[in-house]
Amino acid sequence: MALIEVKNLKKSYGAIHAVRGISFTVERGEVVGFLGPNGAGKSTTMKLIAGHLRADHGAANVASFDVSTHPIEAKTHLGYSPEGAPAYSEMTVREFLRFAADLRNLPNPSEKVKKTLALCRLNEVAHQTVDTLSKGYRMRLGFAQAVIHDPEVLILDEPTDGLDPNQKFEVRRILKEMASRKAVIVSTHILEEIDELCTRVIVIAHGEVRCDESKEQFLQRGTDLNEVFRKLTA
């Protein structure tokens, strides 16, 4: 059963057609890399699936729940980390995760916070306020709030953006650990990340799917991935 089903999604901002009829499904165990230039419609598609934006047309299902007609049920199964990993700057890391656990009404919230702090290696900054965190820790916190309830569906908008190689390695490690049990969509600009992290690639340009294939098929398109990317998104 597909945990994410996207059917002919369309979204416009005034005269700008950000998403022009995108369709795909993601099964459990798949890690889909969302590739595309800036403004291609990746983030908008993710926001539509996560229920942050309403689609003009089409439907997005998460764990078989339509995001527009059953938003609470769909979001219960979803972990979403927006671009830039926003968080309440005045809260400590522990407080922020506790807030996320409370809002999701998780059983044993203290235990969930403790486990998530350990999983995302945030223990050493647990008592720091968000505004004092380095970018690496902040991105990990964004990731932590998305996985605190161990969701079946994970949507991560550029989770490794701006991180140093060690921090990228950490985020990828955590993601790999849990990927087999989930359906994951990760947007990225880093083409090498496809090989390391993803099982499938969806390339989006001008609001349309230009390519949807397995990682292996994508890598066979050429040795120079930048050139492959340029051709697909032109």
Partner 1 sequence: MSSESSPPAPRATSAVWAIFNREFAGYFRTPLAYVFLAVFNAFAISLAFFVGNIYEAGVANLDRFFLYHPWLWAFLAPAAGARLWAEERRQGTIELLLTWPISVWQVAVGKFLAAWLFLATALLITLPIAFTVGYLGDPDVGVIISGYLGSLLCAGACLGIASIASALTRNQVIAFVTGFLACFLLVLIGYGVFDEFISGLFTPNIIEEVRRIGLWRNLEPFTLGLVDLRPVAYFLTLSFGGLGLSTIIIERR
Q: Which residues sit at the interface with partner 1, rule CB under 8 A?
A: 1, 47, 50-53, 63-66, 70-73, 75-78, 80, 82, 84, 86-91, 99-100, 102-105, 145, 149, 152
Please report how close the Cβ of residue 217 comes to partner 1 at its closest, in angstroms: 29
8 A C-beta contact, residue 40 and residue 206: yes
- Return the number of the residue (70 or 221) whose C-beta is nearest partner 1: 70
Write the CB contacts of 215 (distance below 8 Å, at least 6 apart in sequence). 33, 194, 195, 198, 199, 200, 201
DSSP the chain: -EEEEEEEEEEEETTEEEEEEEEEEEETT-EEEEE--TTSSHHHHHHHHHTSS--SEEEEEETTEETTTSHHHHHHTEEEE-TT----TTSBHHHHHHHHHHHTT-SSHHHHHHHHHHHTT-GGGTTSBGGG--HHHHHHHHHHHHHTT--SEEEEESTTTT--HHHHHHHHHHHHHHHTTSEEEEE-S-THHHHHH-SEEEEEETTEEEEEEEHHHHHTT-S-HHHHHHHHH-
Question: In this structure, what token pair is assigned to residue 95?
Answer: 């407080």
- Return the number of the residue (86 or 222) whose C-beta is nearest partner 1: 86
Please report how close the Cβ of residue 61 comes to partner 1 at its closest, in angstroms: 8
Please report how close the Cβ of residue 56 comes to partner 1 at its closest, in angstroms: 13
- Return the number of the residue (87 or 171) whose C-beta is nearest partner 1: 87
- Return the number of the residue (47 or 200) whose C-beta is nearest partner 1: 47
- Return the number of the residue (112 or 215) whose C-beta is nearest partner 1: 112
Please report how close the Cβ of residue 11 comes to partner 1 at its closest, in angstroms: 13
8 A C-beta contact, residue 17 and residue 7: no
Please report how close the Cβ of residue 50 comes to partner 1 at its closest, in angstroms: 4
- Return the number of the residue (57 or 230) whose C-beta is nearest partner 1: 57
Please report how close the Cβ of residue 188 comes to partner 1 at its closest, in angstroms: 19
Amino acid at 81: S
Please report how close the Cβ of residue 120 comes to partner 1 at its closest, in angstroms: 16
- Return the number of the residue (187 or 229) whose C-beta is nearest partner 1: 187
